[in-house]
């Protein structure tokens, strides 16, 4: 892909004795929202953690914005412009929402204009600004986690299953926030199992299975192709049983 912001080429990751990623090829185009789908255990989280340098790729290459980040340390990858919102909401429960946000801005004090901008996306942050984050609901914690990832300008946001366990109304406000975010200067790679959440959000989609990307293309093409959906996503439903 000529204008990809992030590319993984033949990436393998071992965790201990287990060979988890078995040659992942993935391209995230610059701008917009890309979706990574796949059944439980397909390797989606391992892919995000490998991009962040939290697992070392044992083979293959990862390039971000023209730079080879394959062997870089996690803080350097973050500094290069990638933010990561892990599956389990990454908030400090004992600290207030404000303190959570302050800690997230590692390059200096929080910029008030940026705080206002984030609180426009997630009004719950403003409302609970001085509350311990641990007292918030699951959906509100997820908003703090995403707010933290946005505390500094980033080129790429990796978000792992943000809708897991959330009520439909909260999911809708997250969808609205992602729709606005992708219209700005942030590229998003969203891991999601719920196809109905992402089919109207994503431009490109990759589907993983058994540690590999088994399909990549435009979201519009996948939405229009019932047989392909059945083959790729039906497979994921089967494996849930
Ligand atoms: N720390 C670990 N030690 C050993 N195996 C692991 C570890 N983390 C993940 N795995 C294995 O790697 C495979 C891929 O896991 P991963 O978490 O990447 O899947 P996933 O696609 O994110 O699944 P889910 O949708 O359930 O979150 C699974 O078989 C999992 O058991
Ligand atoms: Mg996962």
With bands split at pLDDT 50, 70 and 90, how would you rate the model's confidence at 1?
low
174 neighbors 166 (Cβ within 8 angstroms): yes
pTM of the prediction? 0.91
Q: What is the mean pLDDT of residues 24-38?
A: 95
**How many Å is the maximal CA-CA distance in the chain?**
51
Spatial separation of the C-alpha atoms in residues 58 and 12, rounded to whole Å:
5
Give the atom of ligand 1 at the shortest distance from the alpha carbon of 193: 25
Residue 236, phi then psi, degrees to nearest 5: -75, -35
Give, using CA atoms, the residue closest to atom 18 of ligand 1: 43
Nearest bound ligand to CA 208?
Answer: 1
pLDDT of the residue at 2: 57
Spatial separation of the C-alpha atoms in residues 62 and 7, rounded to whole Å:
6
pLDDT of the residue at 169: 80
Spatial separation of the C-alpha atoms in residues 106 and 108, rounded to whole Å:
6
Residue 237 has pLDDT above 70, yes or no: no
pLDDT of the residue at 236: 46
* CB-count exposure of residue 112 (10 Å: 0-12, 13-18, 19+): exposed
Q: What is the mean pLDDT of residues 183-193?
A: 88
- Is the distance from the beta carbon of residue 38 to the nearest atom of ligand 1 less than 6 Å? yes
pLDDT of the residue at 120: 85
Q: Which fold has domain 4-81+154-238?
A: Rossmann fold (3.40.50)
Q: What is the mean pLDDT of residues 164-181?
A: 82
Q: What is the mean pLDDT of residues 87-102?
A: 89
More confident residue, 169 or 59: 59
Spatial separation of the C-alpha atoms in residues 50 and 20, rounded to whole Å:
11
Query: Which of 8, 12, 16, 20 has the most ligand 1 atoms within 8 A of CB, as the residue to mutate?
Result: 20
Give the atom of ligand 1 at the shortest distance from the alpha carbon of 87: 27
pLDDT digits (tens, 9 = 90+) for 107-145: 777 888 888 888 888 888 999 999 999 999 888 888 899
pLDDT of the residue at 239: 41
pLDDT of the residue at 168: 83
Nearest bound ligand to CA 86?
Answer: 2
Residue 82 has pLDDT above 70, yes or no: yes
Which residues, other chains included, contact 177 with Cβ-Cβ below 8 Å and sequence gap of 6+? 121, 122, 143, 146
pLDDT of the residue at 214: 96
Spatial separation of the C-alpha atoms in residues 63 and 6, rounded to whole Å:
6
pLDDT of the residue at 138: 84
According to DSSP, residue 96 is labeled B
Give the atom of ligand 1 at the shortest distance from the alpha carbon of 39: 25
Every domain of the chain and the residues it spans: 4-81+154-238, 90-152
pLDDT of the residue at 43: 97
Per-residue tokens: 64? 């971000």
3-state secondary structure of 22: strand
More confident residue, 218 or 2: 218
Query: Which of 18, 22, 49, 88 has the most ligand 1 atoms within 8 A of CB, as the residue to mutate?
Result: 18
């Amino acid at each position: 892909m000529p204008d990809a912001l992030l590319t993984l080429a033949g990436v393998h990751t071992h965790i201990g004795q287990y060979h988890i990623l078995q040659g992942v090829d993935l391209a995230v185009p610059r701008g917009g929202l890309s979706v990574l789908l796949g059944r439980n255990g397909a390797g989606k989280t391992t892919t995000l953690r490998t991009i962040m340098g939290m697992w070392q790729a044992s083979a293959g290459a990862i390039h971000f914005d023209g730079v080879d980040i394959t062997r870089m340390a996690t803080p350097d990858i973050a500094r290069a412009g990638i933010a990561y919102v892990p599956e389990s909401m990454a908030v400090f429960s004992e600290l207030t929402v404000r303190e959570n946000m302050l800690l997230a801005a590692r390059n200096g004090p929080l910029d008030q204009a940026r705080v206002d901008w984030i609180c426009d996306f997630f009004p719950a942050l403003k409302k609970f600004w001085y509350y311990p984050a641990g007292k918030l609901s699951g959906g509100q914690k997820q908003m703090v986690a995403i707010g933290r990832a946005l505390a500094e300008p980033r080129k790429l946001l990796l978000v792992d299953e943000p809708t897991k366990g959330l009520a439909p109304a909260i999911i809708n406000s997250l969808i609205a926030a992602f729709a606005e975010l992708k219209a700005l200067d942030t590229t998003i790679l969203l891991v999601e199992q719920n196809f109905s959440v992402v089919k109207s959000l994503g431009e490109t989609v990759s589907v993983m299975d058994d540690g590999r990307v088994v399909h990549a293309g435009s979201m519009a093409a996948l939405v229009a192709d019932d047989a392909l959906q059945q083959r790729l996503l039906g497979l994921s439903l089967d494996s849930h049983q």
